[in-house]
Amino acid sequence: MNKLSKIGVLTSGGDAPGMNAAVRAVVRKCVYENIKVTGIIKGYQGLVNGDFLPLNAGSVSGILKDGGTMLKSARCPEFRTPEGRATAYENFKKQKLDGLVVIGGDGTFTGANIFGREYNIPIIGVPGTIDNDLFGTDLTIGYDTALNTVVDAVDKIRDTATAHSRLFFIEVMGRDAGFIALNAGVASGAEVVLLPEKKTSYDDLKRFLEKQYSYSKDSSIVLVAEGKKMGNTFEIAQRVNEEHPEYDARVTILGHLQRGGSPTVADRVLASELGVAAVEALIDDQKSIMVGMVDGEIVHVPFNQALKNKKGINERLFNLINVLSGGKK
């Protein structure tokens, strides 16, 4: 058991719903344990610039339900340089901090991993990203909310798809990972999902759509994970429209609205649990780990392990899309 006197907390990388809930949990746990806590504004940028905000129980009152992050977020190129991190460490010492909680995704943890080892600082990571692409935790904070936002949008688009007998290609977030597209696909009754993990050829897509349209269907939804290259979805839709103008294919790119909004219950509970667990990990003298939730239990995952491994998609769910689309085997 380590007697902590004061710690810092920051959010970094793309914002995710529930980051505020995690900040609140970190702060309230510190108050409970009689540890001082300061917010660091705009992620690592605030550490480099010396931008701090002392926090108490009241500072985080009412933020549990707010999207975004009250501590703000930013990219920080300086923190990737040894000079930037040296300045950050000076500010860390000036503030008399004993450790850090960093809330974010793999970019955040990469920085934490280097900085923590370089200066022997205890840093605990809390997985906050809508993409759910972090190894070592079943779910990341923000993912459940993003899923519900996406499915809410797809439900609305289906109203129009059905009314006009149209085919819709809907592009959702997920640069390297199809978690959002897959789960939102099952939940919205999408007829097809296109994922980075599963190479679906254009011919397979076409064959499948033709099979669908051969029995009764006169409208469909294809969910597309954005992938590395923007605009991909437009190309696919155009090609389909050229060969099958009767499908009347349209494209919607959901974009940034997937990031915001009040967090769901699952994200608020997960954020509350992991925020508290992060402070407990610091008290227990842990460092360079991410706290995660696996099978309902809190786990500690070394940054190296979280960053090196890749979480696979759920094959059972992937097969479900086809089974549920209404056709025979």
Shortest separation between residue 320's beta carbon and a second copy, angstroms: 6
Burial of residue 188 (CB within 10 Å: 0-12, 13-18, 19+) is buried
Considering only residues 197, 244, 262, 299, which one is a binding residue for a second copy as defined by CB under 8 A? Answer: 262
| 253 known ligand binder | no
Q: Indicate if 131 belongs to the active site.
A: yes
Collect all residues with Cβ–Cβ distance below 8 Å to 126 and sequence separation of at least 6: 22, 26, 101, 102, 103, 104, 141, 271, 274, 275, 278, 290, 291
Catalytic residue, candidates 15, 66, 131, 267:
131
DSSP 119-135: HT--EEEEEB-TT---T
Q: Which of residues 77-116 bind a second copy (CB under 8 A)?
A: none
Joined together, the tokens standing for residue 162 give 């059905």
Q: Give the span between the Cα atoms of 227 and 174, in whole angstroms.
A: 6
* Closer residue to a second copy (CB): 55 or 88: 55
* Closer residue to a second copy (CB): 44 or 303: 44
Q: Which of 121, 44, 52, 101 is nearest to 78 (CA)?
A: 44
Q: Which of residues 16-35 bind a second copy (CB under 8 A)?
A: 17, 24-25, 28-29, 31-34
* Closer residue to a second copy (CB): 17 or 116: 17
Q: Give the span between the Cα atoms of 140 and 294, in whole angstroms.
A: 11
Considering only residues 254, 283, 291, 301, which one is a binding residue for a second copy as defined by CB under 8 A? Answer: 254
| 218 known ligand binder | yes
Q: Which of residues 207-236 bind a second copy (CB under 8 A)?
A: 215-216
Considering only residues 108, 137, 264, 286, which one is a binding residue for a second copy as defined by CB under 8 A? Answer: 264
Q: Which of 128, 230, 240 is nearest to 191 (CA)?
A: 240
Q: From 92-100, 101-109, 265-273, 304-312, give the range in contact with a second copy by CB under 8 A.
A: 265-273
Shortest separation between residue 298's beta carbon and a second copy, angstroms: 8
Residue 224, strand partner residues: 171, 194
Q: Give the span between the Cα atoms of 194 and 208, in whole angstroms.
A: 12
Shortest separation between residue 37's beta carbon and a second copy, angstroms: 13
* Closer residue to a second copy (CB): 80 or 250: 250
| 129 known ligand binder | yes
- Is residue 12 within 8 Å of 73, Cβ to Cβ? yes
Q: Which of residues 158-177 bind a second copy (CB under 8 A)?
A: 158-160, 162-165, 168
| 219 known ligand binder | yes
Joined together, the tokens standing for residue 261 give 């909004």
Determine, following the binding rule CB under 8 A, whether residue 126 of this chain makes contact with a second copy. Answer: no
- Is residue 112 within 8 Å of 40, Cβ to Cβ? no
R_g (Cα) of the chain, nearest Å = 22
Q: Give the span between the Cα atoms of 220 and 214, in whole angstroms.
A: 12
Determine, following the binding rule CB under 8 A, whether residue 324 of this chain makes contact with a second copy. Answer: yes
Considering only residues 6, 261, 299, 302, which one is a binding residue for a second copy as defined by CB under 8 A? Answer: 261
Determine, following the binding rule CB under 8 A, whether residue 65 of this chain makes contact with a second copy. Answer: yes
Would you tell me the crossing angle of helices 265-283 and 143-164 to the nearest 10 degrees?
160
* Closer residue to a second copy (CB): 15 or 106: 15
Determine, following the binding rule CB under 8 A, whether residue 299 of this chain makes contact with a second copy. Answer: no
What are the binding residues for ATP? 14, 75-76, 105-108
Binding residues for ADP: 24-28, 158, 189-191, 217-219
Binding site, residues? 14, 24-28, 75-76, 105-108, 129-131, 158, 166, 173-175, 189-191, 217-219, 226, 250, 256-259
The residues annotated as belonging to the active site are 131
